[in-house]
Structure 1
């Protein structure tokens, strides 16, 4: 398996993020606009949290709070699990399974490089397996 940085490089450079001061309503609009399930929360370029649909459903909708009156900082996941760009995709997948998370920021020191989802990793694994199968089929038929 390849380093997670290779996976980030394969796709368009995207670093969508929120501010801790954004309202939850604005954060939901951003999730919808970008068609994603989570966004990083950055304060002056520093990763301070992750906001996800899960945060909204559990901490706003089920708690009867208003998304227009609540700030992202009040409900985001602040104890962010992140990985270095050299961590291998398989190790990221294992970590995500252990921690029961679907999104994983990639950070090099203090520099935020991006965020990958479990779908990104699964797509990469499937593509890798398809390549291996095609190579084996070609080898067998030669």
Structure 2
């Protein structure tokens, strides 16, 4: 069990965010540009929501609204679960599984320090298991 901060440091510490006043279209462009599935919504450096592909598909595309005429604040998820940098990767995975969410912002006090996705956690678990297998194989053969 390692703290989520270690995983964030490996990612390089990028904090992809947008404003609640940005248009949904601008948010979609940023999702594509950053190659991510969700962005944090910050106002005056405070986390006020998350905008995800799921928000778009369910609240814009299926509702027949225009992404250019709708602001992020109108469709973002505002009830956001967060974790701290000290939260373990296992606890993050359990929370995401239990709450059926795919992205978790990481906040230190009131400062947003990053966000992890279920994919980030799965990649980390797979890499950790591969290292364990390699170490066990080396032990057996030596």
**TM-score, normalization by structure 1:** 0.98
Separation in 1, partners of 2:116, 2:105: 6
TM alignment of 1:1-142, pairs within 5 A? 1-142=1-142
The number of aligned residues is 142
RMSD: 0.6
Q: How far does residue 12 in structure 1 lie from its aligned partner after superposition? A: 1.7
Q: How far does residue 100 in structure 1 lie from its aligned partner after superposition? A: 0.7
Q: How far does residue 55 in structure 1 lie from its aligned partner after superposition? A: 0.2
Q: 5+ residue gaps in structure 2? A: none
Q: How far does residue 13 in structure 1 lie from its aligned partner after superposition? A: 2.1
Q: 5+ residue gaps in structure 1? A: none
Separation in 1, partners of 2:7, 2:107: 14
Q: How far does residue 141 in structure 1 lie from its aligned partner after superposition? A: 0.4
Secondary structure of the structure 1 residue equivalent to 2:42: strand
Contact 2:20 2:72 in 1 (8 A): yes
Following TM superposition, where does structure 1 have runs of at least 4 consecutive aligned residues deviating by more than 2 angstroms?
Answer: none
| Superimposed CA distance per residue, residues 61-114 of structure 1 (whole angstroms, 9 cap, x where no aligned partner) | 111111111000010000001101111001100100111111100001100000
Separation in 1, partners of 2:29, 2:119: 21
Q: How far does residue 123 in structure 1 lie from its aligned partner after superposition? A: 0.7
**TM-score, normalization by structure 2:** 0.98
